[in-house]
A and B are shown apart, each in its own frame.
Chain A
Amino acid sequence: MDSYDASESTPRQSTSSRPEDYFIGATFLQKRLESVRKQTSFVPTPPRRKIPHCSLLQEDVDLQKVAFLLHKQWTLYSLTPLYKFSYSNLKEYSRLLNAFIVAEKQKGLAVEVGEDFNIKVIFSTLLGIKGTQRDPEAFLVQILSKSQLPSENRESKVLWTGWFCCIFGDSLLETVSEDFTCLPLFLANGTESNTAIIGTWFQKTFDCYFSPLAINAFNLSWMAAMWTACKMDHYVATTEFLWSVPCSPQSLDISYAIHPEDAKALWDSVHKTPGEVTQEEVDLFMDCLYSHFHRHFKIHLSATRLVRVSTSVASAHTDGKIKILCHKYLIGVLAYLTELAIFQIE
């Protein structure tokens, strides 16, 4: 029996050595296949990641212009590259989208009593929202309502805002040809029906595809660690976590609030290498919080699902909702989200 086993096992060993030789002489296509195979349905987290710091924000970003991006809740979507999109045709696009929206609304798809059909669509570029020079310019779409009264106060109310951006999207930019514009991250604020209508127009016009970007607990814990690591002059909000406990009949929510300076102190004690964040540090940071909670309440938070993380820099919800509070780290937050969006597209 033993000798039979030995003779069975040796042929296996020789077959396993052949794939090794195969990979040594890898061609470009094989390398691409390798990378595709490695990317499964999970985010391929590199073991190290840079902490976003304020010098990343470009000098030509006007704080006044980006201030409207802060303190608003955005719903996240990932977007495949846009075909034959041109920054010089923005006025044309405004006109077309305006006509489309009016047509859709008159079809009776979104029937609301008293809704003002005098709307105006504006496309504009957002200067400076990019990581490197290679990243395409971010642009903004807004739906404003024109007041029907031809009086002096012609204030238009913003009904819906959406913006497209790409921060450090090199991995995606390399793979697409000239005709495509890569802006994988889309953020929307406004009613769902408007988002759906505008999404349909973009999909028809530029042959792209939107899909909602959910953030899983693994990425939320990374965000918590990265944002706690950011140096802030003063903290505007407490650091808060929300966990959802799966139990019947209704799920239970556990909320854990920490003073932001305590959270930063905890992070500093865990953090070893300057300028980088590693997987072990994130795990240790979260484990400290879990064990502290367990000691007091005898509940294993690690058996629950992290649903929401809220810090002074930004807050994120697992359903793909984000609110950015600090303009210094805007680019840093967007960079991580871009990475998640690119991963979802691929």
Chain B
Amino acid sequence: MLKEDCASELKVHLAKSLPLPSSVNRPRIDLIVFVINLHSKYSLQNTEESLRHVDASFFLGKVCFLATGAGRESHCSIHRHTVVKLAHTYQSPLLYCDLEVEAFRATMAQRLVRMLQVCAGHVPGVSALNLLSLLRSSEGPSLEDM
């Protein structure tokens, strides 16, 4: 993501789990991306644990889930419905990307940077909440059977 061109300064903070230590002074967080590895149930458990530490105001469009590893189906230990249900429970968008493939990674980076710009308020006329309702309506029908 840092390779992408962006008008303002872009900082990425990586963490294995939340909560982040509160002793450090850090800039405002605009977007939280939870990366779930579909090959590992531990990754899902970790994410669920971390979600509890996120302030409710973030769920208005500033949180998104990224599921990786869907390409190698034989290695998957988590069913797709589990992550879809998780994203649905937290009212946040779910993106799929095989982070091991270079091309997909680059595309996803572009998409995330764009989302970040919206969440940080740098795109005039579109807010994070707006973006959320936009992304949600395209997934509507498939969630009927949840």
8 shortest interchain CB distances as A-B pairs: A303-B42, A217-B77, A302-B41, A16-B137, A302-B42, A214-B74, A42-B80, A303-B40
- Bound state CA distance, A269 and B141, in angstroms? 38
Q: Is the interface of A mostly helix, strand, loop or mixed?
A: helix
B78 touches A218 (CB 8 A): yes
- Bound state CA distance, A45 and B45, in angstroms? 20
A12 in the interface, Cβ–Cβ < 8 Å?
yes
A4 in the interface, Cβ–Cβ < 8 Å?
yes
Q: Is the interface of B mostly helix, strand, loop or mixed?
A: helix
B127 touches A5 (CB 8 A): yes
Query: With A15-B137, A216-B77 given, can you name 19 additional A-B contacts, CB distance below 8 Å?
Result: A8-B125, A12-B134, A13-B133, A20-B141, A40-B80, A42-B76, A42-B79, A42-B80, A42-B81, A43-B79, A214-B73, A216-B73, A216-B75, A217-B75, A218-B76, A221-B77, A302-B45, A305-B77, A306-B77
Report chain A residues within 8 Å CB of B142: 37-38
B141 touches A218 (CB 8 A): no
Question: Which residue numbers of A lie inside 8 Å of B, CB to CB?
Answer: 1, 4-5, 8-9, 12-13, 15-16, 19-20, 23, 37-38, 40-45, 214-218, 221, 279, 286, 290, 300, 302-306, 318
B74 touches A5 (CB 8 A): no
Q: How many whole Å from B107's CB to the nearest CB in chain A?
A: 19
Q: How many whole Å from B69's CB to the nearest CB in chain A?
A: 10
Given contacts A5-B127, A5-B130, contact A318 B74 (CB under 8 A): yes
- Bound state CA distance, A305 and B39, in angstroms? 7
Report chain A residues within 8 Å CB of B130: 5, 8-9
Report chain A residues within 8 Å CB of B40: 302-305
Hey, what's the 0/1 contact readout for B75-93 against A, CB within 8 Å counting as 1?
Answer: 1111111000000000000
- Which B residue sits closest to A16, measured CB to CB? B137
B42 touches A300 (CB 8 A): yes
